[in-house]
Amino acid sequence: MNNETAQLINRYLDAYQIVTRRIGARIREGIAEGLTSDQFTILRLIHGQEKCTSTFLAEACCVGKSSITAIVNRLVEAGLIDRTRDESDRRQVYLTISSLGSQVFDEANQNVSEILTPYLLHFDEDQIEQFISMFEKLADLMKESGGQEE
């Protein structure tokens, strides 16, 4: 690794640490009391799916199904999500957000938007789109090949 690459990696790591820690802390503050950031993430993912499964959640969160099951169980117990069995394949279980879950999610999501929006105002729309596109590309590389040439 050459010196320029090392400097870029260090710049990335420095910025990543500040952004993820500070934004993460602010988001945790903005999420409804009693709701963890992992639970908020699960609600957000279920909210965006017509038929959501634990397998989808595990893959989207890059964690094992047992971790998702524990979070889902707590959300079901809290009345925030519902489990529904598929009529044609009783083994298949779908997760949907309940009315209460939708209210809690909407409030938390609004709070998160209010936290992030002031930061975005420092950039024009093209810069935001470019940043998000590059970040999504990095996420795709992480999911697929780990950044290695195939």
Q: Please write the tens of the pLDDT for every residue from 62-72.
A: 889 999 999 99
In this structure, are residues 92 and 85 in contact, taking their beta carbons and an 8 Å threshold? yes
> What residues make up the domain containing 99?
31-144
pLDDT for 32-62, tens place per residue? 777 888 999 999 999 988 889 999 999 888 8
* Within-domain flag for 137: yes
Q: Which of 43, 33, 40, 50 is nearest to 97 (CA)?
A: 43
Q: Which residues contact 75 (CB under 8 A, 6 or more apart)?
A: 39, 42, 43, 81, 101
Q: How many domains does the chain have?
A: 1
The answer to whether residue 17 is domain-embedded is no
For residue 100, tell me if it sits in a domain: yes
Looking up residue 42, the CATH number of its domain turns out to be 1.10.10.10
Hey, what are 73's tokens?
């169980």
pLDDT of residue 29: 85
Q: Which tokens go with 92?
A: 């298949």
Cα–Cα distance, 93 to 33 (Å, whole number): 28
Q: What percent of the chain has pLDDT over 70?
A: 96
